[in-house]
Amino acid sequence: MNTIKIVGLTGSLRKASYNKGALEAAQTLVPQGAELEILDLSAIPFFNQDLEGGELPAAVTEFKEKIAQADALLIATPEYNYSIPPVLKNALDWASRDKSAPLAGKPTALFSVSSSQLGGARVQYHLRQFGVALNLKLLNRPEVFIGMAGEKFDENGNLLDEETKKRLTVLLNALVNLVKEGK
Ligand SMILES: Cc1cc2nc3c(=O)[nH]c(=O)nc-3n(C[C@H](O)[C@H](O)[C@H](O)COP(=O)(O)O)c2cc1C
């Protein structure tokens, strides 16, 4: 079997983002036979339907190609005011408009990291609802909410907490199994 390509997305552009740090940790935890590439969403402009008439911005085209080529998505998101950060929603809105429907049926796992105790529980349910519109093949279990991030990451966003690494490993294994089930 070819290497399973997982693409990692995060709704945080912060340099020392906990969510980005968790994705970087996940890169070292992916099961054998899989790889995780983290995408940078910072260059993707606001969605504007007027732009769809002509050549799309390069960052949008590149993003959609990466999504299309991926076997699976791993979304790591902060919770902004109980909901989805605009950077993440915007990128996925762009991809949702492609006629080839690169998101449809895509095996996807998600987790959230938050500085508060709930660990982003509310954004996950908004994201799951959004996932229905996108027709993602979302993994239901395990649910991974990483709260009190300030105690689990250093000031540069590096994940230190061993228990969190274990939970991410279980999530990654479940995602890879979901991909394999569909092959
Ligand atoms: C605009 C904004 C809204 C936020 N709203 C929430 C929230 O609703 N729930 C929550 O748990 N944390 C909230 N936070 C705090 C985030 O959990 C915290 O900033 C976290 O570090 C963001 O993730 P990051 O480190 O990956 O950027 C909010 C932060 C920002 C900037």
pTM, to two decimals: 0.97
Average pLDDT value over all residues in the chain: 97
For the record, the structure tokens of 101 come out as: 């429907």
| Mean predicted confidence (pLDDT) in 76-85 | 98
77: pLDDT strictly greater than 80: yes
* Ligand 1 atom at shortest distance from the alpha carbon of 82: 8
> What pLDDT is attached to residue 183?
78
Q: What is the DSSP secondary-structure string of 128-176?
A: HHHHHHHT-EE--SS-EEE--GGGTB-TT--B--HHHHHHHHHHHHHHH
CA distance 145 to 115: 11
- CA-proximal residue: ligand 1, atom 22 (nearest): 78
**Digit-coded pLDDT (tens) for 113-164:** 999 999 999 999 999 999 999 999 999 999 999 999 999 999 999 999 999 9
Is the CB–ligand 1 distance for residue 124 below 6 Å?
A: no
